[in-house]
Amino acid sequence: MSSIGKKTIQSITGGALILFLTFHALMNIFVIISPEAYDAICEFLGANWYALVGTVGLAALVVLHFIFAIVLTVQNYIARGSERYAVSARPKGVEWSSRNMFVLGLVVIGFVVLHLLNFWYKMQLQEILGNELEMSGAEFVQDLFSHPVYCILYMIWLVALWFHLQHGMWSAFHTLGWNNNKWIPRLKCISNIYTGIVCALFFCIPLYYLIINLIA
Amino acid sequence: MSNETIKIDSKIPQGPLAEKWTNYKAHQKLVNPSNKRRLDIIVVGTGLAGASAAASLGEMGFNVLNFCIQDSPRRAHSIAAQGGINAAKNYQNDGDSVYRLYYDTIKGGDYRAREANVYRLAEVSNNIIDQCVAQGVPFAREYGGTLANRSFGGAQVSRTFYAKGQTGQQLLLGAYSALSRQVKAGSVKLYTRREMLDLVIIDGKARGIIVRNLVTGKIERYAAHAVVLGTGGYGNTFFLSTNAMGSNGSAAWQAYKHGAYFANPCYAQIHPTCIPVHGTNQSKLTLMSESLRNDGRIWVPKKLEDAKALQAGKLQGRDIPEEDRDYYLERRYPAFGNLVPRDVASRAAKERCDAGYGVNNTGLAVFLDFSEPIARLGKSVVEARYGNLFQMYEKITDVNPYENPMMIFPAIHYTMGGIWVDYELQTSITGLFCIGEANFSDHGANRLGASALMQGLADGYFVLPYTIQNYLADEIRTPRFSTDRPEFEEAEKKVNARIEKLMSIQGKRSVDSIHKELGLIMWDFVGMGRTAEGLKKGIEEIQRIKKEFWSNVFIPGDGKDMNTELEKALRLADFIEIGDLMARDALHREESCGGHFREEHQTPEGEALRHDDKYMYVGCWKYTGEDSEPELLKEPLNYEFTEVKTRNYK
Amino acid sequence: MDKTINVTLKVWRQRGPKAKGAFETYKLNGVSTDSSFLEMMDQLNEQLISERKEPVVFDHDCREGICGMCSLYINGHPHGPDEDITTCQLHMRKFKDGDTITIEPWRSHGFPVIRDLMVDRSAFDKIIQAGGYVSVNTGGAPDANAIPISKEKADLAMDAASCIGCGACVAACKNGSAMLFVSAKVSQLALLPQGKVEAARRAKAMVAKMDELGFGNCTNTGACEAECPKNVSISNIARLNREFLCAKLKD
């Protein structure tokens, strides 16, 4: 497969994941606005066949994105040559995140595993297995974030996620060829704002519980 | 001297001027496609001439072996040409025509070029523009989508096509892309980082070359049915010039030593608009495009005390009021003003500086001022036209040319002289052809701006691919040559012996230090203003440098491995001899014409004074051996169609 | 006017492609601030020759920023710390007295070191040979004004065509990717009607060759554009992606 082909897969899977995160964030925010509504959504997205198909598809996206990231990174490492520069400087105008996408990606995926253990394992998986849930969705969230450590871990994670996304989003458009001189700064700006909003929505939740717990 | 014993045959076809080329093509011999495949052609050089020739010959079906000293054909020095390329398209409706381009070129050359060659050049100029556009060369365009033009020195029409300030680059990349296509097709084989060190002659015909692989240091042999040299000029004899560091005259010089005549070596062009010399460590001079003279105005102070203050650094150019400025080109040449030909502009600058009006610390610079066009057109228009040149100037000098006038001074730029060729571009060695700047053919004693690109591409795309067939048609029965033949053996031995000799000197001086010394001698005695006395002194000095070089040069490293100092030494050895021949030619030519200015021969106003009765000929120098003087042969120039006048740009 | 500085140079020396390289440190005094960087290198070599040592090998030719021959990775930047120029146009006034300057060759799998600071960039020629041209033979071209080309497109094509093939983009890229170089040529020709005809074929062939030669994958860091001496824009990379993907989708 050509280099651009591999990059295209990264862009499409990445773009789909951004869309997923958008919906995920929009739903999550209800946990602090209205726990009942949040539980209703959890109910709705339980173990239906379409939710299951969605979950499998999502997992496939993540796996593809991850595998291609590894392939690309290994190839890029080899392409750099055997000898490294003794002195290197980051040129002006080059985002830090763009040079560290793989590392950021690793941080993100590490937390995804934690996140799945924290929630998905206890919620959707149990439903699939036909087990009775211990508590409602909102209660799970409240339970986890009652530990300030988790709040802070999640907040760090979300910052890393934002760095990954803000480069990933405009980069995906660029790789798919939807860019030109005029749109490069515009797309970068849109990416920063859009992914900023998505991550901020997520960020609100641990922040909210952290403050609540501190006040209590 | 036995001038009359050898008759020089320029092979100019019969017929009226405008029909000569058409007639030639109609009657020349051609090679049929199946025979082309069996014929090998060596092309040395990948500049505009070399690359376009190699590509065109490859397209026609010949087997081409193409050599260059750089790591890629795209780096040949044609790439540095900035301003543009002339063509007689008359897209501007300003009265241009093939005849007018011909006339301007032959007049610009001070009536020292062949009528037939120059006419052919003007004739094919239009095809070049068509060809380049078809290749995807991004020439500047008007809003309506048609091609744009600008003016250049020595012409009263706008006929120069350009691609920003990078026309040479774009044309070369066009030729390079055509060449790359043939490399892929398998008809051209590319040999990069190879330097030609000798020519191989079998039974009186050029049949191969000896090259040094610059990476491994190995000597390699290549055979072919014909050899084409497109190796550029010898301006680097002066050490400081606008040529690239690697540009050299060695390939041409090897041809000369095998009997190819070297024509008009003294015709060297001094370009008026270069950035002045800054110090002794300077390695080259940077040209500022002639196109700057479209809008820029050249001046020095009227008052000597202002010049003194400028030299002492007490004043800056912008401090001098308008009424105290001497726009000497506009004053002396009102009709052409700042757009006089290069030789005229250069000499005028020298005249002012010699009189003490120089404007920098060395007193060797004049101003090129854009304050008037900036006021008239606005900074943004000037920036759009010349932005990249202004940026380059500022990077080099640390002076902002939008605020303070640029300083410029003449520098060696181009050599009109070169290997003698006939109308077919064949040298006096059968089977050896020479194209582009390396030959002497089209520019006479002075080349007009934007004509070098035209000539290089004309030779490579449209002339040589025809004329070489007239020779190769008789070679179709000649089988391929083995490089094991004794002629190759002997040539390689000679090259190796030369390298060993150079390596064994182990003296005290670096190659560059000797080259710099040669350059100063050349500039002082064989430069812009020449005298009999100075030239004789120059020849003596060059002989002294030659001795010094062959007894005291030091080349570190191994002769049989990559060795950049050895490369330079091999070139310098030839530059010294080229310098000697330039001085001899300049001494013999008792007149001033174009780039050759003998101070004894000038009009009362200080203009060049030709002696058409005595010197209306091409001076062809024939090598006679290491220790004997070269022999001068003359090819008379018969002007049948053009009235020969004194050049007048007033 | 003629100010001089003293500098310490850490220069990469390597005998051949397979030999092990190392830094050598040299002290160089009395460097004029009006000198170009390469003139400073000449001065270093003169000093080495006077000590009867072999000079440092580096590529250079036109010394006016257009041939693309000079390279050098200086203090962490291809073509040095100044912007929009090649090494030959870098001047010593950008450095201070007493500075230590680290000089390395381009380091990339696609550009093996030949000796010292000289690298082999013939991979670029191979990419162009794969399709970086318009397939037109000499002669028989239509009149140059036969097809009008909008000034905007011609200017964009010119901007892309200003690439000098120096390889700074590859040297700067953490992925050793040649996308900026390839995209500049693909863009130039795709923007012009003359090149548009075989644009799809060209994009596919050049990308395939680029991949084959072991250049890395572009991750849009933009370092190439930032270090490009001719300011070739990464919007060309977007155009290449577009051309390439459209060509593949049509297959």
Residue C226 touches chain A, beta carbons under 8 Å: yes
Q: Is the pLDDT of residue A82 over 90?
A: no
A121 Cβ neighbours under 8 A, 6+ residues apart:
none
- The count of other CB atoms within 10 Å of the CB of residue B402 is 13
Domain B486-621 in this protein, CATH class: mainly alpha
B169:C164 CB<8 A: yes
Report helix angle B250-257 to B564-588, nearest 10: 60
CATH of the domain at C235: 1.10.1060.10
d(CA A153, CA A161): 12
pLDDT at B64: 98
Q: What is the mean pLDDT of residues B618-644?
A: 95
Q: What is the mean pLDDT of residues C129-150?
A: 96
> What are the CA-CA distances from residue B426 to residues B422, B440, B465 (Å)?
6, 12, 12
- How high does pLDDT run on average in chain C? 96
> Which one from B112, B114, B342, B571 is the annotated catalytic residue?
B342
Helices marked H in B312-419 — which ranges?
A: 328-332, 342-354, 371-377, 379-397
Specify whether C166 is located in the same domain as C55. Answer: no
Q: Is the pLDDT of residue B97 over 60?
A: yes
Chains that touch A (3 or more CB pairs under 8 A): C
* Sequence spans of domains, chain B: 272-410, 486-621
pLDDT at C78: 97
The tens digit of pLDDT for each residue in B579-597 reads: 999 999 999 999 999 999 9
In chain A, which residues touch C (CB < 8 A)? 2-8, 72, 75-76, 78-95, 98-99, 101, 167, 170-171, 174-181, 184
Quick one: pLDDT band at residue A135, thresholds 50, 70, 90?
A: confident
CATH of the domain at C44: 3.10.20.30
In a domain, C231, yes or no: yes
B291 Cβ neighbours under 8 A, 6+ residues apart:
B82, B83, B84, B150, B152, B160, B162, B165, B385, B386, B389, B449
A95:C226 CB<8 A: no
> Could you say which of C64, C82, C165 has the minimum Cβ distance to residue B286?
C64
C93:B513 CB<8 A: no
Quick one: pLDDT band at residue C153, thresholds 50, 70, 90?
A: very high
pLDDT at A92: 86
Quick one: pLDDT band at residue B491, thresholds 50, 70, 90?
A: very high
Return the SS3 of B220: strand
C248 Cβ neighbours under 8 A, 6+ residues apart:
A5, C204
Q: Is the pLDDT of residue B6 over 80?
A: no
Element (H, E) at B631: strand B631-636
Per-window interface: C 4-23 vs A, CB < 8 A? 10, 21, 23
Q: Is the pLDDT of residue B259 over 80?
A: yes
The tens digit of pLDDT for each residue in B117-154 reads: 999 999 999 999 999 999 999 999 999 999 999 888 78
Please indicate whether residue A184 or residue B384 has the higher confidence score (pLDDT): A184
> Could you say which of C1, C32, C85 has the minimum Cβ distance to residue B395?
C85
Q: Is the pLDDT of residue B3 over 50?
A: no
The tens digit of pLDDT for each residue in B34-52 reads: 999 999 999 999 999 999 9
C19, exposed or middle or buried, with CB in 10 Å at 0-12, 13-18, 19+?
exposed
Q: What is the mean pLDDT of residues C232-250?
A: 96
B350 Cβ neighbours under 8 A, 6+ residues apart:
B410, B528, B529
- The count of other CB atoms within 10 Å of the CB of residue A140 is 19
Instruction: Identify the CA nearest to B40 among candidates B181, B277, B228.
Output: B228
Which residue, C46, C75, C104, sits at the end of a domain? C104
Residue C86 distance to chain A (closest CA, Å): 15
The tens digit of pLDDT for each residue in B182-196 reads: 999 999 999 999 999
What is the DSSP annotation of B82-95? -S-EE----TT-SS
Q: Is the pLDDT of residue C207 over 70?
A: yes
Specify whether C159 is located in the same domain as C189. Answer: yes
What is the DSSP annotation of A77-140? HHHT-SSPPSS--PPTT--HHHHTHHHHHHHHHHHHHHHIIIIITTTHHHHHTTPPPSS-HHHH
Which residue in chain B is spatially nearest to C53 when comparing CA positions? Answer: B556
Residues in chain C, how many?
A: 251
The tens digit of pLDDT for each residue in C179-200 reads: 999 999 999 999 999 999 999 9
Question: B39-48, B312-321, B574-583, C68-77: which has the minimum mean pLDDT?
Answer: B312-321
In a domain, C21, yes or no: yes
Give the predicted TM-score (pTM) of the model: 0.96
- How high does pLDDT run on average in chain B? 95
Chain B residues whose beta carbon lies within 8 Å of the beta carbon of residue C122: 71-72, 192
Q: What is the mean pLDDT of residues B168-182?
A: 98
pLDDT at C2: 66
pLDDT at B5: 62
Instruction: Identify the CA nearest to B593 among candidates B517, B647, B542.
Output: B647
Q: Is the pLDDT of residue A89 over 70?
A: yes
Q: State the complex-level ipTM.
A: 0.98
Q: Which two tokens stand for residue B280?
A: 């002794």
d(CA B17, CA B132): 26
What is the DSSP annotation of C229-246? TT---THHHHHHHHHHHH
Q: What is the mean pLDDT of residues B480-499?
A: 97
**Domain total for chain C?**
2
Q: Is the pLDDT of residue B1 over 60?
A: no
Contact B277, B240 (CB under 8 A): yes
pLDDT at A26: 94
- How high does pLDDT run on average in chain A? 93
Contact B148, B48 (CB under 8 A): no
In a domain, C210, yes or no: yes
The tens digit of pLDDT for each residue in B410-464 reads: 999 999 999 999 999 999 999 999 999 999 999 999 999 999 999 999 999 999 9
Specify whether C146 is located in the same domain as C172. Answer: yes
Question: A119-128, A207-216, B331-340: which has the minimum mean pLDDT?
Answer: A119-128
Which residue, C49, C69, C104, sits at the end of a domain? C104
DSSP label of A45? T
Specify whether C79 is located in the same domain as C150. Answer: no
Which residue, C36, C69, C104, sits at the end of a domain? C104
Specify whether C129 is located in the same domain as C77. Answer: no
Active site residue B37: no
> What are the CA-CA distances from residue A195 to residues A61, A166, A174 (Å)?
19, 6, 16
In a domain, C114, yes or no: no
The tens digit of pLDDT for each residue in A2-61 reads: 999 999 999 999 999 999 999 999 999 999 999 999 999 888 887 678 888 999 999 999
Domain range holding C176? 121-250
Best mutation target, C138, C188, C197, to test chain B (most B CBs within 10 A): C138
Q: What is the mean pLDDT of residues B468-475?
A: 98
Question: A83-87, B41-45, B382-386: which has the minimum mean pLDDT?
Answer: B382-386
In a domain, C207, yes or no: yes
Specify whether C167 is located in the same domain as C46. Answer: no
* Sequence spans of domains, chain A: 3-83+98-215
CATH fold, domain B272-410, is: Flavocytochrome C3; Chain A, domain 1 (3.90.700)
Instruction: Identify the CA nearest to A177 among candidates C127, B136, C234.
Output: C234
Quick one: pLDDT band at residue A187, thresholds 50, 70, 90?
A: very high
Residue B142 touches chain C, beta carbons under 8 Å: yes
Extended strands (E) in B153-257:
160-161, 188-191, 194-202, 205-213, 219-223, 226-229
CATH fold, domain A3-83+98-215, is: 3 helical TM bundles of succinate and fumarate reductases (1.20.1300)
Q: Is the pLDDT of residue B466 over 90?
A: yes
pLDDT at B649: 82
User: B52 forms bridges with which residues in the sheet?
Assistant: none
pLDDT at B2: 46
